[in-house]
Amino acid sequence: MNKFNYAAAAELFPSRRYAKSQTTQYRRFATASEAVRYCIEDMPSKSLAGSFLEVDEQRFEGAEIRVLYEAADYPLERIVPAE
């Protein structure tokens, strides 16, 4: 994957299956890092499948969004899951 620009604006297009849900609807984010965090930490996990982010005219789908979140250069603090 090319160098990802976490500072670029991003748009979230939720899965059509879950788009009717009030919790998961189209959203715009000032930065891709905020969009990635929202997808992983705030969206219901079942909603990630079929959803995609558009950043700098590129699309990133469910598994790709998780890779961006787990990348070493992800700029925001991650929530550590409770054990």
Q: Predicted confidence band at 83 (pLDDT cuts at 50, 70, 90)?
A: very low
Q: What is the pLDDT of residue 17?
A: 65
47 versus 32: the higher-pLDDT residue is 32
Query: Is the pLDDT reported for residue 42 higher than 70?
Result: yes
Residue 43's Cβ-side half-sphere holds a number of Cα atoms within 13 Å equal to 30
Contact between residue 24 and residue 43 where contact means Cβ atoms under 8 Å apart: yes
**Positive or negative, the Cα torsion across 7, 11, 57, 70?**
positive
Whole-prediction pTM: 0.84
% residues pLDDT > 90 (the chain)? 61
What pLDDT is stored for residue 50 in this prediction? 86
Q: Helical H runs in 1-83?
A: 32-37, 45-48, 62-70
What per-residue confidence (pLDDT) applies to 3?
Answer: 85
44 vs 4: which has the higher pLDDT: 4
